[in-house]
Amino acid sequence: VDTEAFDFLTARLDNPLVVVTTASGDQRAGCVAGFHTQCGIEPMRYAVWLSKANMTYRTGVFATHLAVHYLDVVDHDLAELFGAHSGEDIDKFARCDWAPGPGGVPFLTRCPNRVVLERISIWDGGDDHACFVGEPVDASRGAELIPLRLSAALDIEPGHAVEERVKADDVVAQR
Ligand SMILES: Cc1cc2nc3c(=O)[nH]c(=O)nc-3n(C[C@H](O)[C@H](O)[C@H](O)COP(=O)(O)O)c2cc1C
34-65 residue pLDDT tens: 999 999 999 999 999 999 999 999 999 999 99
State how far the Cα of 51 lies from the Cα of 129, in Å rounded to an integer.
4
Task: Identify the residue whose C-alpha is closest to ligand 1 atom 7.
Answer: 33
Q: At a CB cut-off of 8 Å and minimum separation 6, what does 155 contact?
A: none
Report DSSP letters for 6-43, one per residue: HHHHHHHH-PBPEEEEEEETTEEEEEEES-EEEEEETT
If DSSP codes are grouped into helix, strand and coil, which group holds residue 78? helix
Cα(144) to ligand 1 centroid in Å equals 25
- Ligand 1 closest atom vs CA 56: 27
Q: Is 51 in the pocket of ligand 1 (CB under 6 A)?
A: yes
pTM of the full predicted structure? 0.94
Looking at residue 168, what is its pLDDT? 52
